[in-house]
Structure 1
Amino acid sequence: MLQELSIKDFAIIDEIQISFQPKMTVLTGETGAGKSIIIDALGLLAGGRGSTEFIRKGEKKAVIQGLFTLPREANTYNILEEYGIDSEDGQIILQRDLYRGGRNICRINGMMVNLATLRKVGETLIDIHGQNEHQELMKPENHIDLLDEYDKKTSQLRNQYQVVYQNYRKLKLSMEKKEADEKAWAQRLDMLNFQVKEIEEAGLKINEEDELVEEKNKLDNFQAIHDALELSYQILSGEKIDVVGNLGNAMNELSDVSDLSENLQEINTKISDAFYSLEDAARDISDELDSMEWNGERLNEIEERLELIHQLKRKYGDTIEDILHYHSRIEKELREMENAEQNSEKQERQLSEALEKVKELAIKLSKQRKKSAKKLEKMIHEQLSALYMDKAVFEVKCLNNSKLYSKGIDKVEFYIQTNPGEEMGPLAKIASGGELSRIMLALKTIFSQKMGVTSIIFDEVDTGVSGRVAQAIAEKISQISNNSQVLCITHLPQVAAIADNHYYISKSVNDGRTETSLKELDEKQKIREIARMLSGSEITELTLKHAEELIKMSK
C-alpha cells in the first residue's frame, strides 16, 4: 500500500506530505482545488510522462516521493531483484525530480534508475483509473492477459505453451536466417574458410613484430654497429691505448696506500668499481663482435615476414593481438556455419516436431480459454446486476487465429450489449460514460486481486451517475478495497460516506500565490463535508442529518 506521499513545488502545491491508511480513502473538495493534481503526481511517480509545466512557477524543480509497503507475494520483488535494488525490509521508496531544463532524475530506494525501470516498478504499485483513461481493462490487446490470469489452469497452460513457442521460434528464425539467402550463406562460408586459413598459415605470435623490427635494425646497421664496437674495444683494451690495463695499474698503486686515510680508501673504491665495470664492458664488446655475422638472406626473410604481417593488419586488425582475436571470432562462426550445414536435416526435423507440439498446445489452450471465458461472463453478469445493469449482456469473444503467436492462436476481446435490442459491440466503444464506469467497476471487482497492484486510484470515475447507481458504485469501490488499497477522488456523497478515510483538499491565496492544502477529516468534519456535497455551499441542519444518516447506512 501507499503509506506516505510527499509533493514539493508541483503545480499549485507548495509542499504537502500525506499519510495514507489501508482500505478506502476518498479525497473531496471544491472543483479546481487541486484534487487531480495529486493524482497527476502519483502518475509521474509511477513512470508517467513528465512536463516542465508541472513545476511550480518560480521554482527550479518539482520533487515527488512515495513510500510503499509490499506484501510478501508482490510481483514487485522480482523486478527489484532483476535490477539489483534492495528491498529486504518490505518497503520501497520511489522518487522523481523534474527540472526546469527538462531533466528527469528517478530513484528507487535511493538507487538512480531510468524512466523505463521506474515505470516497470510503478505499474506493479499503482493503477490509476480516470474518467477517460481506462488503462489495462479498456485496452482490447490486454483482454487476453486478463482472461488467462483469471483462471489458474489457463494460466498454467499458457506458461507451458510459451516455453514451447519460444523454442519453436528460435528454431524457425535459425532456419529462416539460413534459407533467406543461400548465395550469401555460401559466399560467407567461403570467405570465412579463406580468412581462417590465411591467418592460421601465417603462424603469428604475440610480440613477434617488435622482435623482427629490432633484428632488422641490427642487420640494416650492421657495419655501423661493428665499427663502433671495434673502436670501443680498441680504446678499452687495445695495444696503443689500454684504458682497462692502465686503470688496473692505478688501482694497484692506490691499494697499497688506501689504508692510510678515509679519502684514499674512498678514491680506491671508485677506481676499483670503474675498473671492474670497464673490464666487464670490454668482455661484452668482445663477445658481441665474435657473435656478429652478416646474413643477407635473413634480412630478406625478415622483410618478407614484416610485409606479410603488414598485409594481415590491413585486413584484420591494427595489431597482431587484434588479428588473433578476429581469428578466434570467425573460427567460431565458421564452426557454427559448418555445423549448421551438417545438421540441416536434423534442424528441419526438430522444427517440424516443435511446430506440431506448439500447435497441439495452442489448441488445448484455446479450448481452455473458451471454458474460462464462460465462467468470467457469468461473474461479470453478477457484478453488473448489482450495479443495476441486469439487462446488459457481457461476452468474451475468443476468435481462433490461424497464425501462431506468443499468446496462442486466439484473439480475445470483451464485448457488451448495454440494452435489449441493441447490437453487441466492443466494450471500450459501446458504453456511455456512466455505463462504462459501472462496467469498469465490475471488472475491477473481479480482477483487483488478480492484478496484484498495491494501490488502485479512481479519479472521478463516478461522473454521470446518481441515486441508487451511485450507492452501488460506492459499494463496489469499497469491495475492491478489500483486496487493494483504494484512493478515490469523488463528487458523490455516497462514495465519500462509505470510505474508511477522508481527506479534504482546498486552495487559498497567500502573498499573491495560489496554494493547495490537504486536511484529514474527523467524524464531525466528514459529516459537514458530505452535507456540503449533498446541498452545495449552504449547509442546513437537515443536510447535516442527511449526511449523518448516509454515513450510518454505509457502515
Structure 2
Amino acid sequence: MLKNLIIRDFVIVDTLELDFSAGFTALTGETGAGKSILIDALSLALGERGDAGMVRSGCEKAEIGAEFDIAGMPQLQSWLREQELEGDEGVCLLRRTLDAAGRSRGFINGRSATLQQMREAGEHLIDIHGQHAHQSLLRADSQRDLLDSHAGLGKQAEEVATAFKDWQTLHRRRLQLEQNAEAVAAERELLSFQRRELETLNFSVTEWEALQADHARLSHAASLLETAQFGVEVLSDSDTACLAQLNALTVRLRSGLEFDAGLQDTLTMLESAQNELQEAVYALRHYQQRLETDPQQLRQQEQRMADVVEAARKYRVPPEQLPEVLAGTAARLDELGGSADLAELARQDEAARHAYLEAAGKLSEARITAAQSLSAEITAAMQALAMQGGQFSVALLPLNEGNVHGLEMVEFQVAANQGTPLRSLAKVASGGELSRISLAIQVAASRAATVPTLIFDEVDSGIGGRVAEIVGALLKQLGRRHQVMCVTHLPQVAAQADAQWQVSKAAHAGKTLSNIRVLGGPERIEEIARMLGGVKITETTRKHAAELLGIPA
C-alpha cells in the first residue's frame, strides 16, 4: 500500500509530505481548493504524461516521490527483479521530476526508469477510479483477469494458456514442414543418394593408408626386383662377386697363420663379414621370391584409389575426411526424418488442439457461471448507487479459433439507465456514472482484487441523501480489504471514513498555495458541519455532523 507521498513545487503546492494508513480515507475541502492535486501528483508518479504547466510558477522543477509497502506483492517483486529495478526488501520507491521546459525523468528505487516501466509498476500498486484516465477496469485484459480471479479460475486459465502455447508450437512446426515439404523431399532424396554412394564406397582411413603403401610398392616392383638381382650378382653370382673374392682372401689368411699368429684378428673380422654378406644374399633372394609383380592387382589398386579421390573431389574434402561426410549426411537425414514424421507431427498437432479445446471449453463453462453471478452482483450494487434500472453484464464474446486466454473475449458492458442498450464499459460517457460503476465492480470483486490501493475521484457526483450513505458504506467495506482514498464533497461519504484529510488553499507572499492536513475529532466535526451547512455553521449543524461521525457533540 501507499505509505508516504512527497510533493514539491507541483501546481500550487510548495512542499507537502503525507503519511498514509490503511483503511478508508476521505479527502474533503472547499470547491477549487485543489482536492484533485493529490491524485494528479500520484498519477505523475505512476507514469502519466506531464507538462510544464504542472511546475509551480517561478520554480525550476516539480518533484513527486511515493513510497509503497510491497511485502505482500510477489508479482511486483518478481517484475522489479526482471527489470533490474529492485530496491530495499518490501519497499518500492517511485520518483518523478518535471522541469519548467516540460522535460521529465522517472526513477524506480533510485534507478532511472522509462515512463512505460513506471506505468507497469503503477498498475500493480494503484487503481484510480473517476473522471481521470488511470483505470485498469477499462482494459480488456484487466476485465478478464478480474472475472477469473473473482471466480477462482486463475489456475484453469494458466492451464489453458499452457495448452494453447503447446498447440501453437506443434502447429507452427507442422505448417513449416508442410510448406517446405517439396524442398525437404528433394534434400532428403539427394542426401539418401549421397549416403548410399558413400556407404557403397566403404572407405576407411586405415584402408587408405594401407592402399597407398601397397600401391607404392607394386608400382615400383620391377625396379625393386632389378635392385635385388643386382645385389645378388654383386655379392654372389658374378665372376668378381664379393663373396668369392672374400673366400679366396680368408683361405690365404688361414695359410699365413702358420707363419704369423698376428693375422688372426683380421681373419676373424673377415669371416664375420663373410657370414653377414651371405645372410644378405639369402635375404635378397627371399625378397625376390615374395615380391609380386601382378599387373592386375596393380590396376585394381589404382582403380580403387581413383574412386576414392573422385569421391573426395566431389564432396570437396581430403580423402581422409570422407567418413565425416558420411556421418554428417546420416545425421542430417535423421533431422529431416521421413514422411512418417510428418504424419506423426500432424497427429500430435491434432491431439494438442483437442487438449486445448477441451481445457478451454471447461474454462468457458466456468466463466459463463461466474459471469452471470458477477453481473447480478454488480447490477444490484448499481441500483443502490442511484442508477435505478441500470444493468451490468459480463459479456463473453466468442473467438473463432480461440487464443492463449481461451475461447472468448471478456467485455464488461453496462446500461446506465433503464431502456438503454448495453455498451462497452470503456464507452460510458459520464465520469460520475463510470466512477460509481467502478465502485460497484470493485466492491463485488474486492475479494479477488490484487491492486492494494484504490482511489475514487468524485464517485458521489450527482447523488446525495440515502445513496450517499450507501456509497460511504461501500467505500468503508472496501477499505477493510484495501487502502481506499476518496475525493468527496458529500458529508455522508466523508463521515464513514476511517480518516479524513482537509484540502485548503491560501495566499502566502502573494502566491496561492495548497495544503493538506489530517483532521482530529473536533476539527472533523467542523469540516463535516461545513459540508452540511455551507458558510454559516450552527450548533444544530455541528450536532448533525457529530451524529454522522458517531462522536458525542
TM-score relative to the length of structure 2? 0.67
- Equivalents in 2 of 1:411, 1:337: separation in Å? 44
- Equivalents in 2 of 1:62, 1:336: separation in Å? 64
2:162 corresponding residue in structure 1: 163
Match of 1:398 among 396, 399, 411: 396
CA RMSD of aligned residues (A): 3.4
Matching residue's letter, 1:35: K
Which 10-residue stretch deviates more, 508-517 or 415-424? 415-424
User: Counterpart of 1:477 in 2: which secondary structure?
Assistant: helix
Match of 2:498 among 497, 500, 512: 500
Contact 2:130 2:431 in 1 (8 A): no
1:250 corresponding residue in structure 2: none
- Equivalents in 2 of 1:477, 1:173: separation in Å? 50
- Equivalents in 1 of 2:388, 2:336: separation in Å? 62
Matching residue's letter, 2:507: V
1:540 aligns to 2:517 (yes or no): no
1:450 corresponding residue in structure 2: 448
**Aligned-pair CA distance for 1:353:** 2.2
- Equivalents in 1 of 2:103, 2:185: separation in Å? 50
- Equivalents in 1 of 2:418, 2:86: separation in Å? 55
**Aligned-pair CA distance for 1:140:** 4.8
1:356 aligns to 2:339 (yes or no): no
**Aligned-pair CA distance for 1:398:** 2.0
- Equivalents in 1 of 2:376, 2:551: separation in Å? 29
2:97 corresponding residue in structure 1: 97
Q: Deviations over 1:247-274 (max 9, x none)?
A: xxxxxxxxxxxxxxxxxxxxxxxxxxxx
- Equivalents in 1 of 2:176, 2:102: separation in Å? 43
1:106 corresponding residue in structure 2: 106
User: Counterpart of 1:35 in 2: which secondary structure?
Assistant: coil
Which 10-residue stretch deviates more, 431-440 or 8-17? 431-440
- Equivalents in 1 of 2:78, 2:162: separation in Å? 19
**Aligned-pair CA distance for 1:8:** 0.8
Structure 1 pair 179–45 and aligned structure 2 pair: CA distance change class (3 A): farther
Contact 2:71 2:91 in 1 (8 A): no
Matching residue's letter, 2:40: D
**Aligned-pair CA distance for 1:506:** 1.4
The equivalences for 1:138-537 within 5 A come to 138-140=138-140, 142-152=142-152, 154-176=153-175, 339=335, 344-387=342-385, 391-418=389-416, 421-429=419-427, 434-537=432-535
Q: Deviations over 1:445-482 (max 9, x none)?
A: 12234221121111112111111111111111111111
**Aligned-pair CA distance for 1:99:** 2.9
Q: Deviations over 1:19-60 (max 9, x none)?
A: 112111111112222221211110111121222222222322
Matching residue's letter, 1:503: W
User: Counterpart of 2:362 in 1: which secondary structure?
Assistant: helix
- Equivalents in 1 of 2:71, 2:368: separation in Å? 32
2:285 corresponding residue in structure 1: none
- Equivalents in 2 of 1:139, 1:117: separation in Å? 18
Structure 1 pair 86–435 and aligned structure 2 pair: CA distance change class (3 A): closer
Matching residue's letter, 1:136: S
- Equivalents in 2 of 1:85, 1:514: separation in Å? 38
Q: Deviations over 1:102-136 (max 9, x none)?
A: 44322222222222222211111111112254722
- Equivalents in 2 of 1:185, 1:95: separation in Å? 57
Contact 2:26 2:488 in 1 (8 A): yes
User: Counterpart of 1:546 in 2: which secondary structure?
Assistant: helix
1:9 corresponding residue in structure 2: 9
- Equivalents in 1 of 2:132, 2:5: separation in Å? 24
Which 10-residue stretch deviates more, 171-180 or 542-551? 171-180
Matching residue's letter, 1:123: E
- Equivalents in 2 of 1:132, 1:142: separation in Å? 17
- Equivalents in 1 of 2:170, 2:121: separation in Å? 33
- Equivalents in 2 of 1:185, 1:108: separation in Å? 52
User: Counterpart of 2:513 in 1: which secondary structure?
Assistant: strand
**Aligned-pair CA distance for 1:13:** 1.2
- Equivalents in 2 of 1:61, 1:176: separation in Å? 57
Contact 2:130 2:432 in 1 (8 A): no
1:130 corresponding residue in structure 2: 130
User: Counterpart of 2:527 in 1: which secondary structure?
Assistant: helix
Structure 1 pair 511–426 and aligned structure 2 pair: CA distance change class (3 A): same
- Equivalents in 2 of 1:436, 1:134: separation in Å? 13
Matching residue's letter, 1:100: A
- Equivalents in 2 of 1:461, 1:93: separation in Å? 28
1:52 corresponding residue in structure 2: 52
2:28 corresponding residue in structure 1: 28
Contact 1:45 1:96 in 2 (8 A): yes
Structure 1 pair 516–185 and aligned structure 2 pair: CA distance change class (3 A): farther
User: Counterpart of 2:456 in 1: which secondary structure?
Assistant: strand
Which 10-residue stretch deviates more, 128-137 or 23-32? 128-137
Q: Deviations over 1:49-72 (max 9, x none)?
A: 222222222322211111111243
Structure 1 pair 379–480 and aligned structure 2 pair: CA distance change class (3 A): same
Structure 1 pair 188–510 and aligned structure 2 pair: CA distance change class (3 A): farther
Matching residue's letter, 1:166: K
Q: Deviations over 1:315-374 (max 9, x none)?
A: xxxxxxxxxxxxxxxxx9xx9998357554443333222222212222121111112222
User: Counterpart of 1:462 in 2: which secondary structure?
Assistant: coil
**Aligned-pair CA distance for 1:186:** 10
**Aligned-pair CA distance for 1:6:** 0.2
Ranges in structure 1 where 5+ consecutive residues have no aligned partner: 190-331
User: Counterpart of 2:446 in 1: which secondary structure?
Assistant: helix
Contact 2:435 2:456 in 1 (8 A): no
Contact 2:525 2:546 in 1 (8 A): yes
Ranges in structure 2 where 5+ consecutive residues have no aligned partner: 189-327
Contact 1:454 1:484 in 2 (8 A): yes
Matching residue's letter, 2:96: R
**Aligned-pair CA distance for 1:390:** 6.5
**Aligned-pair CA distance for 1:84:** 3.4
2:66 corresponding residue in structure 1: 66
User: Counterpart of 1:450 in 2: which secondary structure?
Assistant: coil
Matching residue's letter, 2:449: M
- Equivalents in 2 of 1:435, 1:115: separation in Å? 29
Contact 1:381 1:390 in 2 (8 A): no
**Aligned-pair CA distance for 1:389:** 5.1
**Aligned-pair CA distance for 1:378:** 3.6
Structure 1 pair 492–103 and aligned structure 2 pair: CA distance change class (3 A): same
Matching residue's letter, 1:470: A
1:116 aligns to 2:116 (yes or no): yes
- Equivalents in 1 of 2:186, 2:535: separation in Å? 84
User: Counterpart of 1:537 in 2: which secondary structure?
Assistant: coil
- Equivalents in 2 of 1:112, 1:139: separation in Å? 27
